[in-house]
Amino acid sequence: MSVQFDQDQAFALLREAGAYLQGHFLLTTGRHSDQFFLLARLTERPQWLMPWAQELARRLEPYQVSTVVGPAVGGIIPAFAVAGFWPGSRMLFAEKDSGGTMTFRRGFRVEPGEGVVVIEDAVTTGGSVAQVIEAVKAQGGRVQAVGALVDRSQGPLRFTEPLVSLLRTGPIPHWDPADCPLCQEGVALTRPKS
């Protein structure tokens, strides 16, 4: 299947899919923002996701790895889709254990010295990705790069590996709840992942 990824249409598609929202949102970090990426809405339709996955796979090809790892939950579907464009590859996912640490379960193993790319739906601070990188290193693997559908980071990331993203947002405002202008205006707070 050959499909075309058109960056100019990316935001329009995210809006159409309900994956880019505007309002008053509680972020995973506890901060508030007037914009939110709910990329599960993009991944629920293969015909929308596949151009993104194919382009991300193409951009990551120079790293020459055959193992793709995604953090549960948001990275599982994009990681699976990217791996599908690399014949002979495999896809694993890391998930939080009872202590909140990302780990491999379900029999997933990374071989010592094995090259890996980590795929995430959206990167903000890189916290989940950093935990997955640690899980890969704990098994002796080497993370060659990180791929993301959307990079909404605005400062240093919590990992140092190269980041390859399809869509980089401009600065997205976010506030401590005590300083949030939307709270001060009485705009209802939404928890979009609930």
Question: Whole-angstrom Cα distance, residue 34 to residue 51?
Answer: 27
Task: Say if CB 27 and CB 33 are below 8 A apart.
Answer: yes
In degrees and rounded to multiples of 5, residue 127 shows phi and psi of -60, -50
Q: Is residue 144 part of a domain?
A: yes
Question: Whole-angstrom Cα distance, residue 108 to residue 164?
Answer: 25
Q: Amino acid letter at 149?
A: L
How does pLDDT run across 2-60, given as a tens digit for each residue? 455 677 788 889 999 999 999 999 987 788 999 999 999 999 999 999 999 999 999 99
| Among 64, 104, 52, residue whose Cα is nearest residue 88 | 64
Q: According to the model, what pLDDT value does residue 1 have? A: 39
Task: Say if CB 124 and CB 30 are below 8 A apart.
Answer: no
How does pLDDT run across 95-148, given as a tens digit for each residue? 999 999 999 999 999 999 999 999 999 998 899 999 999 999 999 999 999 999
Q: Is residue 45 part of a domain?
A: yes
Question: Whole-angstrom Cα distance, residue 122 to residue 148?
Answer: 6
82: which residues sit within 8 A by CB, 6+ positions away? 53, 56, 57, 60, 68, 91, 117, 119, 147
Q: Which residues pair with 94 in a beta bridge?
A: 71
Q: Is residue 161 part of a domain?
A: yes
Q: Is residue 126 part of a domain?
A: yes
Q: Which residues pair with 146 in a beta bridge?
A: 118, 163
Task: Fill in the DSSP letter of residue 189.
Answer: P
Q: Is residue 189 part of a domain?
A: no
**Into how many domains does the chain fold?**
1
In degrees and rounded to multiples of 5, residue 26 shows phi and psi of -90, 120
Q: Is-above-0.85 flag for pTM? A: yes
Q: According to the model, what pLDDT value does residue 4 have? A: 59
Q: Is residue 165 part of a domain?
A: yes
Q: How far is CA 92 from the centre of its chain?
A: 15
Question: For the domain that residue 143 is a member of, what is the CATH number?
Answer: 3.40.50.2020
Q: Amino acid letter at 79?
A: A
Q: Is residue 120 part of a domain?
A: yes
Rounded to 5°, the CA angle 115-102-151 comes to: 70
pLDDT over threshold 70, residue 170: yes
Q: How far is CA 89 from CA 80, 113, 161, in A?
A: 10, 16, 21
User: Which residue segment(s) compose the domain that 85 sits in?
Assistant: 7-184
Q: Is residue 37 part of a domain?
A: yes
